[in-house]
Structure formats: structure tokens, C-alpha cells
Amino acid sequence: MRVLVANANTTEAITEACVAAARRAAAPGTEILGATPAFGPRVISTRAENAIAAHALLSLLAEHAGKVDAVVLAVSHDTALDAARQLMPCPVVGMTEAACFAACLLGGKFAVLTLGTAVAPYEELVARHGLAGRCAAVAAISATAQEAIRDPEGAQAMLLEAIVELSRRADAVVLAGAALAGMDRVLQPRATVPLLDGIACAVKLAEMLVALGLPKPATGGYAAPSGREATGLSPALAALLKGG
């Protein structure tokens, strides 16, 4: 089984970190491929960047249509998830979506923990996934991604303090944001609730969907596009919209 780990940022280092995390989580027979968009934001951190990255990501995915068995979106905003799911002939799983759904299977409520000022976008994301009722809180430590990379031990101390606080209301904590990749393994021994990493969860859910062998919807808003005309798109993306 070939699983594409598709970044929506144009930063190669993030792709590489996500591919490594995906390989750690993958079952023996799962091959992990990484891919980075040809254009778009270096690191998505605002609404406008997320909207622009959607096109970049879909162009990237179109190159791999028919060549992979599943796609994991390696971007914690689950950028263009519903569009990718409609466009691609194979299952597509978002990393934050995956962690939130997995967290639901471990208890009653989960929390999302991130850094900087990203609370509102994750609250909206959880709501869009229909999981607001299962989410006890979205919280952020005050450090930015840059600060967390410069001072990982300081960031870990802040994260641990936040996890202790969140575990009063939540049975599991989703760590969201590329800068927190791998933090689950470091912090889990000191936490009283399970910590979820989006890439690991997304790889396992992608493997599950491939194993279940379910068809793609052929009707409704997630059916593959057909006969759609466009201008100025990459040939692969234009071909997918055209269908046939």
C-alpha cells in the first residue's frame, strides 16, 4: 500500500519530518511517499495563506492521482480536506481530523493544544469536523513556533503545564501544529492522559480505509468531478476536473 504524505506548506523540512513520523507509524506493508507543493506559503499561519495553499495542495495531489492508495494531508489545518476528498480517486485523511477522531475513541472529551495565537482556527476546524461537542477546549501555549524550535525544553515545560490543566476537563489531548511534531513521544511519559499525534493517527486511518476497500461516493458533493472546465490550471489538475 502506497500512502502519500502531502504537505501544503512549501517548506521541505516539514515534509521530511512528517514523512519520518509517518514511517514510524506505518504498518510493515505500507510505503510512505512525501510531497511538497510547487508554490504557495512557506508556512501556513493565516486564513489567506490557507486559502492559497488549497490550490497548491490540490495541484500537488493531482500529480499523484491513480498512483497512490491513500493520501495523508500533512498540514495541521487540514487544508482543502473536503476538496481533496472530492477530487482524488483514493481515500484522503487530514492529520488533525485523524487525531480528533482517534481521541474520541479513548474517552469522552478531547482537547487540542497548539502554540502561538492559533486557537480560533482550530476551534473552527473542530467545529467544521462536527466535533465541537466532543472538544473540551482548544488551548495554546504562549510560545510561537519559532520560540519552540529555539527552546524546546522551555516549550515542553509550557506544554506539560497546559496538559495538566487540560486533563481536568479532557480525557485525551491532540497536539496540533508542525512545531509540535514528535512532542507526543517526549511528553507522554509525564502526562496522565493520552497525547495524540496527527500524522500517526492519519496513517493508521488511511491504512484502515484502504483495508476496508470501500468505494468512493458516486453521487453527491464528494463524487469525483466530471466535465468541469477551467483555465490556467496544471494539466494534471485540469484532467481530474474534466474526469472521464
Q: Does residue 133 bind a copy of itself (CB under 8 A)?
A: yes
Q: Does residue 208 bind a copy of itself (CB under 8 A)?
A: yes
Contacting residues for 125 by C-beta, under 8 A, at least 6 apart: 77, 78, 96
Report the alpha-carbon angle 41-48-184, nearest 5.
65
Least distance CB 132 / a copy of itself (angstroms): 8
Instruction: Give the residue, chosen from 87, 139, 141, 180, that forms a contact with a copy of itself under the rule CB under 8 A.
Output: 87
Instruction: Give the residue, chosen from 48, 149, 157, 239, that forms a contact with a copy of itself under the rule CB under 8 A.
Output: 48
How many residues touch a copy of itself under the rule CB under 8 A: the total is: 90
Q: Does residue 239 bind a copy of itself (CB under 8 A)?
A: no
Nearer to a copy of itself, 153 or 219 (CB): 219
Q: Does residue 222 bind a copy of itself (CB under 8 A)?
A: yes
Least distance CB 224 / a copy of itself (angstroms): 9
Report the distance separating Cα 91 and Cα 30, nearest Å.
15
Q: Does residue 105 bind a copy of itself (CB under 8 A)?
A: yes
Q: Does residue 237 bind a copy of itself (CB under 8 A)?
A: yes
Q: Interface residues for a copy of itself in 135-164 (CB under 8 A)?
A: none
Instruction: Give the residue, chosen from 120, 149, 157, 239, that forms a contact with a copy of itself under the rule CB under 8 A.
Output: 120
Q: Does residue 25 bind a copy of itself (CB under 8 A)?
A: yes
CB 128 within 8 A of CB 81: no
CB 9 within 8 A of CB 42: yes
Cell numbers at 201, concatenated:
493517527
Element (H, E) at 196: strand 195-197
Nearer to a copy of itself, 148 or 210 (CB): 210
Q: How far is CA 47 from CA 61, 121, 122, 135, in A?
A: 21, 8, 12, 22
Nearer to a copy of itself, 153 or 218 (CB): 218
Report the distance separating Cα 211 and Cα 229, nearest Å.
34
Paired strand residues for 139: 113
